[in-house]
Amino acid sequence: MSGYAMSGNTAKCLEWYGNMKKRDIKPSIGTFHPLIYSCRKEGIVAMEKMFQEMLGMDLIPDRAVYNEMIYGYAEDGNVLKATSMHQQMVDQGVDSDKVTYNCLILAHLRDRRVSEIKHLFDDMKAKGLVPKTDTYKILVKGHCDLKDFN
């Protein structure tokens, strides 16, 4: 499934998942990594539906699933859902990583909430997560898009 997901073939990815269900093969959390990734590419509704299906199987989201969900909301400009998903992640005891913070920074930039970004950036560094090129690229592009050069 991962190969189909990474190549953008959501239909084939979902077909394999359907075949698993027909054969009563119980998916693991790892099964949902490519599924949620693929569904995110199709839109928020598809992503959320797959996430709910995963939860309905009593599977507990891991960092990869949470990050994919947060990124989907960030891309969509929905900072409230992104931060809510992050809070759910924290409440479940799943540690944030650099990817998590990059997604949250992106969400805040897309929603024009520049004032929150410094807090996220400082929190990231306080947790020992070192911002690198990818983080700075998001920050520079976001501030340029907003024409915020302060």
> How many helices (DSSP H) and strands (DSSP E) are in the chain?
9, 0
Q: State the Cα–Cα distance between residues 95 and 28, nearest whole angstrom.
A: 20
Q: What is the CA radius of gyration of the chain?
A: 16
Per-residue pLDDT reduced to its tens digit, 25-51: 999 999 999 999 999 999 999 999 999
Per-residue pLDDT reduced to its tens digit, 117-146: 889 999 999 999 998 898 888 888 777 776
Q: State the Cα–Cα distance between residues 30 and 40, nearest whole angstrom.
A: 16
Quick one: pLDDT band at residue 13, thresholds 50, 70, 90?
A: very high
Per-residue pLDDT reduced to its tens digit, 55-84: 999 999 999 999 999 999 999 989 999 999
Please state the rounded mean pLDDT for residues 82-108: 96
pTM comes to 0.89
Q: State the Cα–Cα distance between residues 105 and 119, nearest whole angstrom.
A: 10
Question: What pLDDT is attached to residue 149?
Answer: 62
Q: What is the mean pLDDT of the chain?
A: 92
Question: What pLDDT is attached to residue 113?
Answer: 80
